[in-house]
Structure 1
Amino acid sequence: MNFERFKWGGVRHSDPLYALLDLTRFRTSAPESSASEGHALLRRLLEIAGNAPANTRPNDLVKLLKSLIPGNDSQRRVAIQCLGYAGVLQSREHAGFFDTYPIHRAHPPEGKNDWSYPISWWRGHDGVNVAAVRFYFPEVMA
Protein backbone atom coordinates (compact mmCIF):
# COMPACT_ATOMS: atom_id res chain seq x y z
CA MET A 1 0.00 0.00 0.00
CA ASN A 2 2.85 2.39 0.74
CA PHE A 3 4.20 1.86 -2.81
CA GLU A 4 0.80 2.87 -4.23
CA ARG A 5 0.87 5.97 -2.08
CA PHE A 6 4.13 7.20 -3.58
CA LYS A 7 3.59 5.98 -7.14
CA TRP A 8 0.03 7.18 -7.74
CA GLY A 9 -0.89 9.18 -4.65
CA GLY A 10 -2.80 6.20 -3.32
CA VAL A 11 -5.75 4.38 -4.81
CA ARG A 12 -7.67 2.91 -1.87
CA HIS A 13 -8.81 6.11 -0.21
CA SER A 14 -12.22 4.77 0.81
CA ASP A 15 -10.61 1.75 2.55
CA PRO A 16 -10.31 2.51 6.30
CA LEU A 17 -7.00 0.60 6.61
CA TYR A 18 -5.48 2.58 3.77
CA ALA A 19 -6.77 5.82 5.30
CA LEU A 20 -5.04 4.87 8.57
CA LEU A 21 -1.75 4.25 6.74
CA ASP A 22 -2.04 7.46 4.76
CA LEU A 23 -2.87 9.65 7.74
CA THR A 24 -0.20 8.02 9.94
CA ARG A 25 2.48 8.61 7.30
CA PHE A 26 1.23 12.14 6.69
CA ARG A 27 1.64 13.06 10.37
CA THR A 28 5.31 12.07 10.32
CA SER A 29 6.28 13.50 6.94
CA ALA A 30 7.95 16.83 6.34
CA PRO A 31 6.08 19.27 4.08
CA GLU A 32 7.51 19.67 0.58
CA SER A 33 6.81 23.40 0.50
CA SER A 34 6.06 26.20 2.91
CA ALA A 35 2.60 26.47 4.40
CA SER A 36 1.99 29.77 2.63
CA GLU A 37 2.78 28.17 -0.75
CA GLY A 38 0.44 25.28 0.02
CA HIS A 39 -2.33 27.63 1.13
CA ALA A 40 -1.95 29.71 -2.04
CA LEU A 41 -2.10 26.55 -4.18
CA LEU A 42 -5.22 25.30 -2.40
CA ARG A 43 -6.89 28.73 -2.63
CA ARG A 44 -6.28 28.76 -6.39
CA LEU A 45 -7.54 25.18 -6.78
CA LEU A 46 -10.72 26.02 -4.85
CA GLU A 47 -11.18 29.17 -6.92
CA ILE A 48 -10.92 27.17 -10.15
CA ALA A 49 -13.35 24.50 -8.90
CA GLY A 50 -15.73 27.08 -7.44
CA ASN A 51 -15.86 29.09 -10.66
CA ALA A 52 -15.97 26.18 -13.08
CA PRO A 53 -18.81 26.18 -15.63
CA ALA A 54 -22.01 24.58 -14.32
CA ASN A 55 -21.68 21.44 -16.46
CA THR A 56 -18.03 20.77 -15.48
CA ARG A 57 -17.37 17.15 -14.51
CA PRO A 58 -14.39 15.76 -12.59
CA ASN A 59 -12.56 14.87 -15.84
CA ASP A 60 -12.95 18.48 -16.97
CA LEU A 61 -11.59 19.68 -13.62
CA VAL A 62 -8.47 17.54 -14.16
CA LYS A 63 -7.83 19.53 -17.34
CA LEU A 64 -8.54 22.87 -15.65
CA LEU A 65 -5.96 22.06 -12.97
CA LYS A 66 -3.21 20.97 -15.36
CA SER A 67 -1.26 24.22 -15.14
CA LEU A 68 -1.75 24.44 -11.36
CA ILE A 69 -0.83 20.92 -10.23
CA PRO A 70 2.40 19.57 -11.74
CA GLY A 71 2.70 15.89 -12.53
CA ASN A 72 0.37 13.65 -14.46
CA ASP A 73 -3.40 13.32 -14.75
CA SER A 74 -3.45 10.42 -12.26
CA GLN A 75 -1.94 12.66 -9.59
CA ARG A 76 -4.45 15.42 -10.32
CA ARG A 77 -7.27 12.84 -10.17
CA VAL A 78 -6.13 11.72 -6.71
CA ALA A 79 -6.09 15.33 -5.48
CA ILE A 80 -9.65 15.80 -6.75
CA GLN A 81 -10.77 12.44 -5.29
CA CYS A 82 -9.35 13.40 -1.88
CA LEU A 83 -11.23 16.71 -1.93
CA GLY A 84 -14.33 14.67 -2.72
CA TYR A 85 -13.74 12.30 0.21
CA ALA A 86 -13.20 15.31 2.48
CA GLY A 87 -16.53 16.79 1.33
CA VAL A 88 -14.87 19.88 -0.12
CA LEU A 89 -16.11 18.88 -3.58
CA GLN A 90 -19.43 17.11 -3.28
CA SER A 91 -22.79 17.01 -4.94
CA ARG A 92 -25.68 18.62 -3.12
CA GLU A 93 -27.82 15.54 -3.79
CA HIS A 94 -25.28 12.86 -2.78
CA ALA A 95 -23.71 13.45 0.62
CA GLY A 96 -20.04 12.77 0.98
CA PHE A 97 -18.02 11.81 4.03
CA PHE A 98 -17.92 15.29 5.59
CA ASP A 99 -21.44 15.17 7.01
CA THR A 100 -22.01 11.43 7.28
CA TYR A 101 -20.69 7.99 6.36
CA PRO A 102 -22.90 6.96 3.45
CA ILE A 103 -23.54 3.23 3.55
CA HIS A 104 -25.19 3.17 0.12
CA ARG A 105 -23.00 4.83 -2.46
CA ALA A 106 -24.95 5.15 -5.69
CA HIS A 107 -23.04 5.65 -8.91
CA PRO A 108 -24.10 7.91 -11.78
CA PRO A 109 -25.95 6.14 -14.59
CA GLU A 110 -23.55 7.16 -17.37
CA GLY A 111 -21.22 4.34 -18.37
CA LYS A 112 -18.01 6.34 -18.74
CA ASN A 113 -17.79 7.67 -15.19
CA ASP A 114 -14.91 5.88 -13.45
CA TRP A 115 -14.66 8.24 -10.48
CA SER A 116 -15.26 7.02 -6.93
CA TYR A 117 -18.14 8.11 -4.73
CA PRO A 118 -18.86 10.96 -3.92
CA ILE A 119 -16.84 12.96 -6.49
CA SER A 120 -18.48 10.93 -9.27
CA TRP A 121 -21.61 13.05 -8.73
CA TRP A 122 -19.90 16.46 -8.47
CA ARG A 123 -20.56 19.04 -11.19
CA GLY A 124 -19.37 22.62 -11.53
CA HIS A 125 -22.73 23.96 -10.34
CA ASP A 126 -22.06 22.26 -6.97
CA GLY A 127 -19.04 24.48 -6.43
CA VAL A 128 -17.04 24.16 -3.23
CA ASN A 129 -18.41 23.21 0.19
CA VAL A 130 -17.23 26.20 2.23
CA ALA A 131 -18.13 24.51 5.54
CA ALA A 132 -15.72 21.66 4.78
CA VAL A 133 -12.99 24.09 3.72
CA ARG A 134 -13.42 26.04 6.97
CA PHE A 135 -13.28 22.83 8.98
CA TYR A 136 -10.19 21.30 7.36
CA PHE A 137 -8.34 24.39 6.15
CA PRO A 138 -9.33 27.41 8.31
CA GLU A 139 -6.10 29.22 7.43
CA VAL A 140 -7.02 29.08 3.73
CA MET A 141 -10.28 30.92 4.39
CA ALA A 142 -8.50 33.78 6.19
Structure 2
Amino acid sequence: MTTSKQLAAIREALEDYEEGEAIDPVLKKAGLAPASQKMSHDQVVQWLLQERDKADKANIVAQFLHGVETNQAHLRAGLSSLASATHFMQHPFSVDKQLNCQVCGAFEHLDIDFVLLNQTRYLCGSVLSGDIAEMAFFLQQANAIDSPRPEALPLTTRIFEMIRAMPDSARPKDMLKQLRKLKGVKMSEEEARSFIDLLGHCAILQTPEHPGLLQRFTNQGLAPSSSRSSDWSYPVDFWTGANGVYADAMKYWFGDYPQLLAQ
Protein backbone atom coordinates (compact mmCIF):
# COMPACT_ATOMS: atom_id res chain seq x y z
CA MET A 1 0.00 0.00 0.00
CA THR A 2 1.45 3.35 -1.06
CA THR A 3 1.01 6.06 1.56
CA SER A 4 0.05 9.61 0.62
CA LYS A 5 3.56 10.75 1.57
CA GLN A 6 5.17 8.12 -0.65
CA LEU A 7 2.81 8.97 -3.51
CA ALA A 8 3.67 12.66 -3.22
CA ALA A 9 7.39 11.83 -3.36
CA ILE A 10 6.85 9.61 -6.42
CA ARG A 11 4.88 12.30 -8.21
CA GLU A 12 7.53 14.92 -7.45
CA ALA A 13 10.31 12.66 -8.74
CA LEU A 14 8.36 11.90 -11.90
CA GLU A 15 7.63 15.58 -12.49
CA ASP A 16 11.37 16.31 -12.32
CA TYR A 17 12.42 13.43 -14.58
CA GLU A 18 13.69 14.16 -18.07
CA GLU A 19 14.63 11.47 -20.56
CA GLY A 20 18.30 10.53 -20.36
CA GLU A 21 18.89 12.13 -16.97
CA ALA A 22 19.77 10.37 -13.71
CA ILE A 23 16.83 8.55 -12.12
CA ASP A 24 15.72 9.59 -8.65
CA PRO A 25 16.26 6.78 -6.08
CA VAL A 26 12.63 7.25 -5.01
CA LEU A 27 11.52 5.85 -8.37
CA LYS A 28 13.96 2.96 -8.23
CA LYS A 29 12.81 2.04 -4.72
CA ALA A 30 9.18 2.10 -5.86
CA GLY A 31 9.95 -0.19 -8.80
CA LEU A 32 9.03 2.50 -11.32
CA ALA A 33 12.34 2.66 -13.17
CA PRO A 34 13.12 -0.66 -14.90
CA ALA A 35 15.76 -0.50 -17.62
CA SER A 36 14.63 0.88 -20.97
CA GLN A 37 14.00 -1.61 -23.77
CA LYS A 38 14.14 -1.56 -27.54
CA MET A 39 11.08 -3.24 -29.03
CA SER A 40 9.67 -3.56 -32.50
CA HIS A 41 6.19 -2.43 -33.46
CA ASP A 42 5.12 -6.05 -33.84
CA GLN A 43 6.45 -6.98 -30.38
CA VAL A 44 4.52 -4.14 -28.75
CA VAL A 45 1.35 -5.12 -30.61
CA GLN A 46 1.69 -8.67 -29.25
CA TRP A 47 2.40 -7.32 -25.76
CA LEU A 48 -0.73 -5.18 -25.89
CA LEU A 49 -2.97 -7.98 -27.18
CA GLN A 50 -1.70 -10.37 -24.51
CA GLU A 51 -2.37 -7.89 -21.71
CA ARG A 52 -5.80 -7.07 -23.12
CA ASP A 53 -6.68 -10.76 -23.16
CA LYS A 54 -5.61 -11.09 -19.51
CA ALA A 55 -7.61 -8.07 -18.38
CA ASP A 56 -10.48 -8.48 -15.91
CA LYS A 57 -12.87 -5.62 -16.65
CA ALA A 58 -14.43 -5.68 -13.17
CA ASN A 59 -10.99 -5.40 -11.55
CA ILE A 60 -9.89 -2.55 -13.78
CA VAL A 61 -13.17 -0.68 -13.20
CA ALA A 62 -12.71 -1.12 -9.44
CA GLN A 63 -9.18 0.30 -9.73
CA PHE A 64 -10.49 3.28 -11.68
CA LEU A 65 -13.11 4.02 -9.03
CA HIS A 66 -10.53 3.75 -6.25
CA GLY A 67 -8.34 6.10 -8.28
CA VAL A 68 -11.14 8.65 -8.57
CA GLU A 69 -12.10 8.48 -4.89
CA THR A 70 -8.49 8.76 -3.68
CA ASN A 71 -7.16 11.08 -6.39
CA GLN A 72 -4.62 8.53 -7.66
CA ALA A 73 -4.18 8.95 -11.41
CA HIS A 74 -2.17 5.75 -11.92
CA LEU A 75 -5.13 3.66 -10.76
CA ARG A 76 -7.34 5.28 -13.40
CA ALA A 77 -4.97 4.62 -16.29
CA GLY A 78 -5.90 0.97 -16.81
CA LEU A 79 -9.47 1.85 -17.77
CA SER A 80 -8.32 4.27 -20.46
CA SER A 81 -6.06 1.56 -21.84
CA LEU A 82 -8.69 -1.17 -21.76
CA ALA A 83 -11.21 1.05 -23.54
CA SER A 84 -8.64 2.13 -26.12
CA ALA A 85 -7.62 -1.49 -26.76
CA THR A 86 -11.13 -2.97 -26.90
CA HIS A 87 -11.17 -3.18 -30.70
CA PHE A 88 -7.42 -3.02 -31.29
CA MET A 89 -6.54 -5.58 -33.93
CA GLN A 90 -3.62 -7.86 -34.70
CA HIS A 91 -1.63 -6.33 -37.56
CA PRO A 92 1.93 -6.12 -38.89
CA PHE A 93 3.79 -2.85 -39.25
CA SER A 94 2.16 -1.22 -42.26
CA VAL A 95 3.11 2.02 -44.01
CA ASP A 96 2.02 3.83 -47.12
CA LYS A 97 3.66 7.23 -47.57
CA GLN A 98 4.35 7.92 -43.89
CA LEU A 99 7.00 6.58 -41.51
CA ASN A 100 4.62 5.34 -38.83
CA CYS A 101 2.10 2.51 -38.97
CA GLN A 102 -1.06 3.51 -40.81
CA VAL A 103 -3.12 1.23 -38.54
CA CYS A 104 -1.98 2.29 -35.05
CA GLY A 105 0.40 5.20 -35.58
CA ALA A 106 3.48 3.59 -33.96
CA PHE A 107 6.94 3.59 -35.50
CA GLU A 108 8.63 0.35 -36.57
CA HIS A 109 11.26 0.49 -33.81
CA LEU A 110 10.47 1.84 -30.36
CA ASP A 111 12.65 2.82 -27.41
CA ILE A 112 10.55 2.04 -24.35
CA ASP A 113 11.44 4.31 -21.42
CA PHE A 114 9.46 2.94 -18.50
CA VAL A 115 10.05 6.03 -16.37
CA LEU A 116 8.38 8.16 -19.05
CA LEU A 117 5.52 5.68 -19.21
CA ASN A 118 5.11 5.92 -15.43
CA GLN A 119 5.31 9.70 -15.71
CA THR A 120 2.21 9.64 -17.90
CA ARG A 121 0.56 6.97 -15.75
CA TYR A 122 0.99 8.85 -12.47
CA LEU A 123 0.67 12.44 -13.66
CA CYS A 124 -2.06 12.06 -16.31
CA GLY A 125 -3.79 8.75 -15.67
CA SER A 126 -4.81 8.24 -19.28
CA VAL A 127 -3.43 7.02 -22.58
CA LEU A 128 -2.16 9.93 -24.67
CA SER A 129 -2.53 10.00 -28.47
CA GLY A 130 -3.26 6.27 -28.66
CA ASP A 131 0.34 5.30 -27.85
CA ILE A 132 0.43 1.48 -28.02
CA ALA A 133 3.34 1.13 -25.59
CA GLU A 134 1.40 3.16 -23.02
CA MET A 135 -1.65 1.00 -23.61
CA ALA A 136 0.31 -2.23 -23.14
CA PHE A 137 2.21 -1.01 -20.08
CA PHE A 138 -0.82 0.51 -18.35
CA LEU A 139 -2.75 -2.73 -18.82
CA GLN A 140 0.19 -4.79 -17.61
CA GLN A 141 0.38 -2.74 -14.43
CA ALA A 142 -3.39 -2.84 -13.92
CA ASN A 143 -3.43 -6.61 -14.42
CA ALA A 144 -0.90 -6.97 -11.61
CA ILE A 145 -3.20 -5.27 -9.06
CA ASP A 146 -6.09 -7.02 -7.37
CA SER A 147 -8.57 -4.29 -6.47
CA PRO A 148 -11.61 -5.15 -4.33
CA ARG A 149 -14.92 -3.59 -5.26
CA PRO A 150 -15.31 -0.16 -3.62
CA GLU A 151 -18.51 0.36 -1.69
CA ALA A 152 -18.82 4.14 -1.21
CA LEU A 153 -18.39 6.37 -4.26
CA PRO A 154 -19.28 9.90 -3.16
CA LEU A 155 -16.74 11.72 -5.34
CA THR A 156 -17.39 9.66 -8.49
CA THR A 157 -21.12 10.19 -8.01
CA ARG A 158 -20.64 13.96 -7.71
CA ILE A 159 -18.51 14.03 -10.85
CA PHE A 160 -21.17 12.32 -12.96
CA GLU A 161 -23.91 14.49 -11.45
CA MET A 162 -21.86 17.53 -12.42
CA ILE A 163 -21.43 16.26 -15.99
CA ARG A 164 -25.15 15.53 -16.37
CA ALA A 165 -25.95 19.06 -15.17
CA MET A 166 -23.71 20.79 -17.74
CA PRO A 167 -25.67 23.15 -20.05
CA ASP A 168 -26.29 22.06 -23.62
CA SER A 169 -23.76 24.58 -24.93
CA ALA A 170 -20.95 23.32 -22.67
CA ARG A 171 -17.70 22.14 -24.25
CA PRO A 172 -14.87 20.09 -22.71
CA LYS A 173 -13.07 23.26 -21.57
CA ASP A 174 -16.16 24.21 -19.56
CA MET A 175 -16.26 20.78 -17.96
CA LEU A 176 -12.57 21.10 -17.12
CA LYS A 177 -13.23 24.25 -15.10
CA GLN A 178 -16.16 22.70 -13.24
CA LEU A 179 -14.32 19.46 -12.56
CA ARG A 180 -11.37 21.18 -10.93
CA LYS A 181 -13.71 23.28 -8.76
CA LEU A 182 -15.62 20.22 -7.53
CA LYS A 183 -15.24 19.51 -3.83
CA GLY A 184 -12.89 16.60 -3.25
CA VAL A 185 -11.22 16.67 -6.68
CA LYS A 186 -7.47 17.18 -6.42
CA MET A 187 -6.34 17.08 -10.03
CA SER A 188 -3.81 19.23 -11.82
CA GLU A 189 -5.08 20.77 -15.04
CA GLU A 190 -3.25 18.07 -17.01
CA GLU A 191 -4.81 15.30 -14.89
CA ALA A 192 -8.27 16.80 -15.27
CA ARG A 193 -7.89 17.09 -19.04
CA SER A 194 -6.71 13.48 -19.20
CA PHE A 195 -9.64 12.39 -17.05
CA ILE A 196 -12.11 13.98 -19.46
CA ASP A 197 -10.27 12.44 -22.42
CA LEU A 198 -10.50 9.06 -20.65
CA LEU A 199 -14.28 9.36 -20.41
CA GLY A 200 -14.25 9.87 -24.17
CA HIS A 201 -12.12 6.77 -24.71
CA CYS A 202 -14.72 4.84 -22.69
CA ALA A 203 -17.52 6.24 -24.91
CA ILE A 204 -19.13 7.90 -21.88
CA LEU A 205 -18.54 11.28 -23.51
CA GLN A 206 -19.11 10.97 -27.25
CA THR A 207 -21.45 12.06 -30.02
CA PRO A 208 -23.53 9.95 -32.41
CA GLU A 209 -21.29 11.02 -35.28
CA HIS A 210 -18.05 10.43 -33.36
CA PRO A 211 -18.36 7.33 -31.16
CA GLY A 212 -15.85 6.39 -28.49
CA LEU A 213 -13.30 3.62 -28.67
CA LEU A 214 -15.72 1.19 -27.04
CA GLN A 215 -17.57 1.03 -30.37
CA ARG A 216 -14.61 0.83 -32.75
CA PHE A 217 -10.85 1.21 -32.83
CA THR A 218 -9.73 4.66 -33.91
CA ASN A 219 -6.16 5.66 -34.72
CA GLN A 220 -5.83 8.79 -32.59
CA GLY A 221 -3.21 10.17 -34.96
CA LEU A 222 -5.65 10.03 -37.87
CA ALA A 223 -8.84 10.85 -35.97
CA PRO A 224 -10.74 13.99 -36.98
CA SER A 225 -10.71 17.04 -34.72
CA SER A 226 -13.22 19.82 -34.20
CA SER A 227 -10.68 22.45 -35.25
CA ARG A 228 -7.01 22.80 -36.15
CA SER A 229 -6.27 24.40 -32.80
CA SER A 230 -8.02 21.80 -30.65
CA ASP A 231 -5.85 19.77 -28.29
CA TRP A 232 -8.60 17.54 -26.91
CA SER A 233 -8.47 13.89 -27.90
CA TYR A 234 -11.02 12.03 -29.98
CA PRO A 235 -13.99 11.72 -29.45
CA VAL A 236 -14.49 14.12 -26.53
CA ASP A 237 -13.23 16.90 -28.77
CA PHE A 238 -16.68 16.92 -30.43
CA TRP A 239 -18.73 16.56 -27.22
CA THR A 240 -21.15 19.22 -26.00
CA GLY A 241 -23.39 19.30 -22.97
CA ALA A 242 -26.32 18.44 -25.23
CA ASN A 243 -24.76 15.01 -25.78
CA GLY A 244 -24.80 14.33 -22.05
CA VAL A 245 -23.54 11.00 -20.73
CA TYR A 246 -23.91 7.95 -22.97
CA ALA A 247 -26.09 5.60 -20.92
CA ASP A 248 -25.07 2.38 -22.69
CA ALA A 249 -21.40 3.00 -21.98
CA MET A 250 -22.14 3.85 -18.33
CA LYS A 251 -24.03 0.58 -17.99
CA TYR A 252 -21.24 -1.36 -19.70
CA TRP A 253 -18.53 -0.07 -17.39
CA PHE A 254 -20.44 0.69 -14.20
CA GLY A 255 -23.44 -1.66 -14.28
CA ASP A 256 -22.32 -3.12 -10.94
CA TYR A 257 -22.54 0.36 -9.38
CA PRO A 258 -26.16 1.50 -9.76
CA GLN A 259 -25.48 4.69 -7.77
CA LEU A 260 -23.49 5.96 -10.79
CA LEU A 261 -26.25 5.35 -13.32
CA ALA A 262 -28.90 7.93 -14.12
CA GLN A 263 -32.01 7.47 -11.97
- What SS does structure 1 have at the residue aligned with 2:257? helix
| 1:55 and 2:172 aligned | no
Match of 1:131 in 2: 248
| 1:26 and 2:146 aligned | no
Greater relative contact order: 1 or 2 (C-alpha under 8 angstroms, separation 6 or more)?
1
User: Which amino acid counterpart does residue 231 of structure 2 have in structure 1?
Assistant: D
Match of 1:4 in 2: 120
| 1:35 and 2:150 aligned | yes
Match of 2:225 in 1: 107
Which stretch shifts more, 128-137 or 20-29?
20-29
CA–CA separation in structure 2 for the residues paired with 1:99 and 1:10: 18
Q: Pick from 193, 198, 203: which aligns with 1:82?
A: 198
CA contact (8 A) 1:133 1:141 kept: no
Higher gyration radius (CA) = 2
Report % sequence identity.
25
Which stretch shifts more, 53-62 or 17-26?
17-26
CA contact (8 A) 1:62 1:76 kept: yes
Which stretch shifts more, 22-31 or 73-82?
22-31
Tell me: CA distance 1:73–1:30, structure 2 relative to 1, closer, same or farther (3 Å). Answer: farther
Gaps of 5+ in 1: none
Aligned length: 139
Tell me: CA distance 1:20–1:27, structure 2 relative to 1, closer, same or farther (3 Å). Answer: same
Which stretch shifts more, 73-82 or 13-22?
13-22
Tell me: CA distance 1:74–1:25, structure 2 relative to 1, closer, same or farther (3 Å). Answer: same
TM (norm. structure 2) is 0.48
Superposition RMSD in Å: 2.3
CA contact (8 A) 2:123 2:191 kept: no
CA contact (8 A) 1:108 1:121 kept: yes
CA contact (8 A) 1:43 1:140 kept: no
CA contact (8 A) 1:13 1:82 kept: no
- What SS does structure 2 have at the residue aligned with 1:88? coil
- What SS does structure 1 have at the residue aligned with 2:213? coil
Match of 1:119 in 2: 236
CA contact (8 A) 2:126 2:197 kept: no
- Deviations along 1:54-110, whole A, 9 cap, x unmatched? 01111110111112421211111111111100101112221111111235521113x
CA–CA separation in structure 1 for the residues paired with 2:172 and 2:192: 10
Give how far 1:3 is off.
2.2
Give how far 1:10 is off.
4.4
User: Which amino acid counterpart does residue 130 of structure 2 have in structure 1?
Assistant: S
CA–CA separation in structure 2 for the residues paired with 1:72 and 1:61: 14
Tell me: CA distance 1:51–1:99, structure 2 relative to 1, closer, same or farther (3 Å). Answer: same
Give how far 1:13 is off.
5.6
Runs of 4+ in 1 over 6 A off after TM superposition: none
Give how far 1:29 is off.
3.6
User: Which amino acid counterpart does residue 150 of structure 2 have in structure 1?
Assistant: A
TM (norm. structure 1) is 0.84
